[in-house]
Structure 1
Amino acid sequence: MQQSRTGSTDAGLHTRWNEALIGLVAVLVLVNFVVDSAITAPLLVLPEMLDHFGTNQAAWLNATAMLAGVMWAPLLGKCADIYGKRRVLVLTLLISGAGALVCAVAPILWVFVAGRMLQGAALAAVFLSVAIVRGVCAPRIAMIIVGIVTSGSAVLNIASRFLIEKLAMEFGFQILFLVSAVVAAAMAICVRNVVPESLIKTPGKIDVGGALLLGGGIAGVISYVSLGSDLGWLAVGPLALLVGGVAALARWLLVSSRKPDPLIDVRDLGGPLVLTLLVVFLGAGSYQSMLQLIPLIGDVSADQQLGYGLADQGSVALLLAAPGLGVMLGGPGAGWLAARIGPASTLAGAVMLGTVVTIGMFLGASQLPAALCCAFLLGVTVGALGTAGFNMAGSVASAERQGIVSSLVMVMVSIGSVVLNFVGAAVLESTVVVVDGETTNSATGVFSCIAIASGAFAIAAVLAVMLVRSTRLSRSPDLARDAV
């Protein structure tokens, strides 16, 4: 295959950096910044939103976009394989922007929630960006660029936090959604003009019924996990979501197994992909549960004699910034490493690092230097985990299935984050103690959360080692044939 001076092969794949590739990467990094503005940035103005709508149902405002994103993901991933990844990414950004406008002008809570459901489509931009990179770049450089694209927006996210808070104080929380809508529209234009359309497409049609069953089923079950603690586990609403979600998933499994072209062919997932998804589920969830715990530890002083606490050991503001800095290093670093030792080994290294670092939080719970180190390395872990997970899943999927396979990785990240966050919150809530008339988290709860996250990371590490072995075994016959 001949390589040109522009750094692309005769098949059109980029093999080294050039102006076109730099422009593409810059656009996709900014696209992923749109995801943060749609999914997580609104949490900064959560108290203002609750006051505006006169409600205490923070879960509806907090979780709706993520849950909707999980529902959108399989449908948009399949559409990308059939109709083209650029086209679907543009559509995704426009849907998200429209949702942001609805949120900005929403007169009542339920209109706002509907806007958040539309805005959640932005979650698909992450895996669509990955699929685009793998479609236009040779495998070795694609692995590095996936790390940059998925992690590069972290620096923009850190800087934007201060601007968001200032704008919200001056103009109200609605300004955040107006800005998100404008940015989404601008990036849709940039994607349309800069990103090339997919040359490889999958013939077929969208299984709309299967998409609704799968997405609705996943969203229903996760909604029960996310909202049950606020609304009541036995309340009619959460129970209806659980029952409906389980029924939808059961129906989807039954129906999809009979269709010749289902949304996701569970019979053709393969062992390596299943192991990858399980590792991502456990690793992402463990990281999120630790991220939830860090500010709680930072708000407690060791003088309270609870057995943990960092508030009296100096500034703990870096505890919240350290993971973001780690992500910026971990993502590109994992891409560089995967290009040399393979994505499976890189993924295994990421979860092993996560296991060690999470165990280190037993010391970090009471020692600020250890906590800062662990927080930074946890960021490195999650940056590497996401990059290696996408690279591994992409390496075992055909070119025609990159969109739907990448969407599965994003779904597992979301599900893992919600489930293990809930587990950690439930443990903390069930072990609280009263000190000087105030309810606070006990050392038993804090250290139990760390133990649960460490155990989940350890299980993920075992699965990752199995993944490395399975990929090596699958390559052995190919190597033997090449030798012959």
Structure 2
Amino acid sequence: MSSPRPTAVIGVLASCGLAVSLMQTLVVPLLPQFPRLLEASPGTVAWLVTATLVAAAVCAPVLGRLGDMYGKRRMLLVGLGIVTFGSALGAVAPNVGVLIAARALQGVSMGVIALGISVMRDVLPPGRVGSGIALMSSSLGIGGAIGLPLTGVVAQQASWRWLFAGAAVLGAVQFLLVLRVVRESPLRSGGRFDLPGAVGLSAALVCLLLAISKGNEWGWGSAVVIGLLVAAGVLFALWATWELRTQKPLVDLRVTARPTVLWTNVASIMIGFGMFAGFLVTTQILQAPTATGYGFGLSLVAAGVALLPIGAAMTIFSPVSARVSRRRGARTTLVLGGTVLALGNLLMATLPGSVPLIIAASTTTAIGAALAYSAIPLLIMSAVPPGETAAANSLNTLMRMLGTSSCSSFVAAIATGITTRVAGQVLPAATAYTVIYVAAAGAAAIGAAIAALTPRAKSRDSMPTPAEPSTAQAA
């Protein structure tokens, strides 16, 4: 089954991914100001990020599995509807507690990326699948690149409530566009929903991500963090035992254990770590006082504008990734992307002495991220049955999130552990940023190496249509 308007379908679904990624950075520019604006402690305000992260991790695999069972477009609409409601709730939130709940509802949006990718595979003509998936997959990085300057401008010129009101309008528009343009996928796996599996995975992820995201604040050696990590390990073990025994699991671990899927997921964690470092700290370098020896003293908006080429690079190189995958295979594209990402991070580790050099180095990392992120779904879908693409892509989205959340904790630990005092302020030292970028480069290089060593998918039944040779060769 193919769509009569493939360009419109690609445009609508990719814009959904872009909107979702904007949700992730919606409150970041205002985090330092929210304690005053909301009359709340910094620890409470931090939950505006943590709640979104945890909700996204829990909902992504659940929405993916429900999409495989009951219709990917249907669950895509459900996800967009929840995000729209959460954004509207945030716009009128009377206190920080309601705002945290609204941010949790916005976190449901992360499942939209995987669902959109799976819809593309099912409804697009074979010749358009690769380019569509490349753009949809890269939309996460594109949104992250343009989200900070956009939200920074709004935050400086108007009330923070307008950020949530705008997100609500955007979500409603995306809902209507999907309803009108995108048709339902004919592929469904059927069966009963694995509720115990969903509850078990949710509990394990909550424990793991709470420990990762709050480790710096609570202390990595604290009883709470250690207890959460132990609980996560036990829950994951129990969950895996259940999934292997039940007939219709939430996540088919036997498929997930296939070398192509398993190692691509591991590589995704590394690539996510390598990509997110730049998003977290490059703007900090641009805004740091010149007295630090590495900063440029730019305003938030000016720093965001300086990084707009990142979004442009990811947009341009998404179709390039699709062409490389079509000719050389998605595995080659992932290796190339990881290598370029590592190179860009190494360039940033030298702390370039001018804004144009910062832009050039950060754009290099963006190109690598675009190539890698666009190839990952093709590799995953080359190794799973068509009826499990949404669940498999949702799990891969979760792996990327583990990479980005781990990177966030690592950056916080290094930035607060290696400091210098400038004009009475305690700021990260130059060495801290060098360590962060070197670690990001190492993670990206490891991801590229894993991709290079990943064996080819062997199951012909799981391969994409032969008319899409790029994905057939992807693994």
Do they superpose with TM above 0.5? yes
Partner of 2:9: 24
Partner of 2:344: 357
Choose the corresponding residue for 1:288, options 257, 265, 276. Answer: 276
Partner of 2:169: 182
Asked whether the 8 Å contact 1:60–1:227 carries over to 2, the reply is no
Change (3 A) 1:222 1:400: same
**Aligned partner of 1:90: which letter?**
L
Asked if residue 279 in structure 1 is aligned to residue 267 in structure 2, the reply is yes
Give the whole-Å Cα distance in 2 for the aligned partners of 1:106 and 1:385: 38
Asked if residue 13 in structure 1 is aligned to residue 15 in structure 2, the reply is no
Partner of 2:469: none
Change (3 A) 1:299 1:49: closer
Moved more, 394-403 or 287-296: 287-296
Offset of residue 383 of structure 1:
1.6
Partner of 1:460: 447
**Aligned partner of 1:111: which letter?**
V
Partner of 1:44: 29
With normalisation by structure 2, the TM-score equals 0.87
Asked whether the 8 Å contact 1:326–1:378 carries over to 2, the reply is no
Choose the corresponding residue for 2:38, options 53, 72, 87. Answer: 53
Change (3 A) 1:231 1:101: farther
Moved more, 60-69 or 164-173: 164-173
Change (3 A) 1:360 1:75: same
SS in structure 2 of the partner of residue 212 of structure 1: helix
Give the whole-Å Cα distance in 2 for the aligned partners of 1:290 and 1:153: 14
- Per-residue CA shift, 1:205-255, capped at 9, x if unaligned? 111121121133123211221123234445676556445433332321222
User: What runs of 5+ residues in structure 2 fail to find an aligned partner?
Assistant: 467-475
Change (3 A) 1:194 1:358: same
With normalisation by structure 1, the TM-score equals 0.86
Change (3 A) 1:434 1:44: closer
Asked whether the 8 Å contact 1:213–1:252 carries over to 2, the reply is yes
- Per-residue CA shift, 1:22-48, capped at 9, x if unaligned? 221221122123313422223233345
Give the whole-Å Cα distance in 1 for the aligned partners of 2:265 and 2:354: 34
Change (3 A) 1:472 1:219: closer
Asked whether the 8 Å contact 2:146–2:308 carries over to 1, the reply is no
Give the whole-Å Cα distance in 2 for the aligned partners of 1:109 and 1:368: 37
Asked whether the 8 Å contact 1:33–1:156 carries over to 2, the reply is yes
Asked whether the 8 Å contact 1:434–1:440 carries over to 2, the reply is yes
Partner of 1:410: 397
In terms of Rg, which structure is larger?
A: 1
Partner of 2:181: 194
Change (3 A) 1:81 1:474: closer
Q: Percentage identity across aligned positions?
A: 23
Offset of residue 74 of structure 1:
0.7
- Per-residue CA shift, 1:323-377, capped at 9, x if unaligned? 2222112222212221221111111110111122222223344354432211001
Partner of 1:471: 456
Change (3 A) 1:158 1:357: closer
Offset of residue 267 of structure 1:
2.3
Partner of 2:122: 135
Asked whether the 8 Å contact 2:321–2:333 carries over to 1, the reply is yes
**Aligned partner of 1:145: which letter?**
G
Asked if residue 149 in structure 1 is aligned to residue 164 in structure 2, the reply is no
Moved more, 88-97 or 156-165: 156-165
SS in structure 1 of the partner of residue 249 of structure 2: coil
Please, what is the CA RMSD of the aligned residues? 2.8
Offset of residue 98 of structure 1:
1.6
Choose the corresponding residue for 2:254, options 267, 277, 280. Answer: 267
Give the whole-Å Cα distance in 1 for the aligned partners of 2:114 and 2:219: 34
Partner of 1:297: 285
- Per-residue CA shift, 1:6-31, capped at 9, x if unaligned? xxxxxx236xxxx6112212211221
Change (3 A) 1:289 1:164: closer
Change (3 A) 1:157 1:98: same
1:120-131 to 2 correspondence within 5 Å? 120-131=107-118
Change (3 A) 1:170 1:466: closer
Change (3 A) 1:210 1:172: same
Moved more, 165-174 or 369-378: 165-174
Asked if residue 84 in structure 1 is aligned to residue 71 in structure 2, the reply is yes
